Amino acid sequence: MDTTIVFIHGAQHDHACWMAQSRWFTQHGYRVLAPDLPGHGKNADDALSSIEAMGAWVTGLLDREGVPQAHIVGHSMGSLVALELADRTPQRVRSATLIGPALPMPVSPALLEMACKDEGKAMEMINFWSFSVAGRLGRNGLPSLWMPSINKRIMECQRAGVLYSDFSACNAYNRPMESLADINVPMLIIAGGQDKMTSPKVAHAIAETLPQARIVVLPECGHAMMTERPDEVLGALESFIGEVKG
């Protein structure tokens, strides 16, 4: 049976954020699904308005692709989708990796209003806070490439209104922290030590509440971990998924 990994992107992103990680796993014999959620990237369907709906959509994707069980990897908003899958359909989740998670994942009223009325300004602010100070100045895992520019370009490729829809879904997701104690699925939490979008302190609380969780903290790294520290993220995934697979 193929070992399948499903990568779920975050708000105002698409499959492109997983290029480094998805390519490596594909080259090493894994079956990789890195879909664009509805309304994102090349997916022309309307954006979904809730984390629960996104979880149901991913379950439908597994059904359509004939995947009985998969390793689920989610970033930010995608980490909430991974949690939802692990809770609602644990038999379909071999493991779950939450990158840059928070629970709850509130969006400030000012940023939510900005996402609705001035997407460009909201994206500029989000992009600034998605990287550590060093990352914004050009220190990252892919020399000669300025990651904030690439991250911004991915955001700019999404359709109008998607950012507000995604942020509204994150803001409305009201799963209580204590409910995580009932999710008995192997979990890896990857947190950025300088993440200003989702607090590493909350990531530690999530890891402590989940019965089968471990946490890896990437020091001097912001929220956009897959681009700022691609090798470290890949190494953590490879080690964890390889151990669970074995």
* CA–CA gap between residue 182 and residue 42 (Å, rounded): 36
Lookup result for tokens 């509204």: 168
The three-state (H, E, C) secondary structure of the chain, written as one string: CCCEEEEECCCCCCHHHHHHHHHHHHHCCCEEECCCCCCCCCCCCCCCCCHHHHHHHHHHHHHHCCCCCEEEEEECHHHHHHHHHHHHCHHHEEEEEEECCCCCCCCCHHHHHHHHHCHHHHHHHHHHHCCCHHHHCCCCCCCCCCHHHHHHHHHHCCCCCHHHHHHHHHHHCCCCHHHHHHCCCCEEEEEECCCCCCCHHHHHHHHHHCCCEEEEEECCCCCCHHHHCHHHHHHHHHHHHHHHHC
pLDDT confidence of 141, banded at 50, 70, 90?
low
Whole-number CA gyration radius for the chain: 16
> Which residue range is the domain that position 167 belongs to?
4-245
- Do the Cβ atoms of 228 and 135 come closer than 8 Å? yes
Lookup result for tokens 């998605």: 130
Name 93's Cβ contacts closer than 8 Å, sequence gap at least 6. Answer: 69, 70, 71, 72, 82, 85, 86, 185
Classify the C-alpha dihedral 133-193-70-62 as positive or negative: negative
Compute the average pLDDT of residues 21-40.
97
Tokens of 205: 């609380």
Predicted pLDDT at 186: 98
Predicted pLDDT at 134: 81
- Averaged pLDDT score across all residues of the chain: 94
pLDDT confidence of 140, banded at 50, 70, 90?
low
Is the pLDDT at 170 greater than 90? The verdict is yes
pLDDT digits (tens, 9 = 90+) for 58-88: 999 999 999 999 999 999 999 999 999 999 9
Number of domains in the chain: 1
Of the CA atoms within 13 Å of residue 85, those in its CB half-sphere come to: 34
* CA–CA gap between residue 100 and residue 119 (Å, rounded): 22
Which of residues 142 and 42 earns the better pLDDT score? 42
pLDDT confidence of 169, banded at 50, 70, 90?
very high
Predicted pLDDT at 151: 87
Is the pLDDT at 246 greater than 70? The verdict is no
pLDDT digits (tens, 9 = 90+) for 95-121: 999 999 999 999 999 999 999 999 999
237, 239, 190: which is closest to 22 by C-alpha? Answer: 237
Compute the average pLDDT of residues 213-240.
95
Predicted pLDDT at 2: 75
Domain of 126: which CATH number?
3.40.50.1820
Tokens of 170: 């994150």
Is the pLDDT at 1 greater than 60? The verdict is no
- Do the Cβ atoms of 81 and 88 come closer than 8 Å? no
- Provide φ and ψ at 218, rounded to 5°: -95, 105
Whole-number percent of the chain with pLDDT over 70: 96
pLDDT confidence of 133, banded at 50, 70, 90?
confident
Is the pLDDT at 6 greater than 80? The verdict is yes
107, 103, 106: which is closest to 175 by C-alpha? Answer: 103
Query: Which of 151-155, 171-175, 201-205 is predicted with the least confidence, judged by mean pLDDT?
Result: 151-155
Compute the average pLDDT of residues 128-146.
73
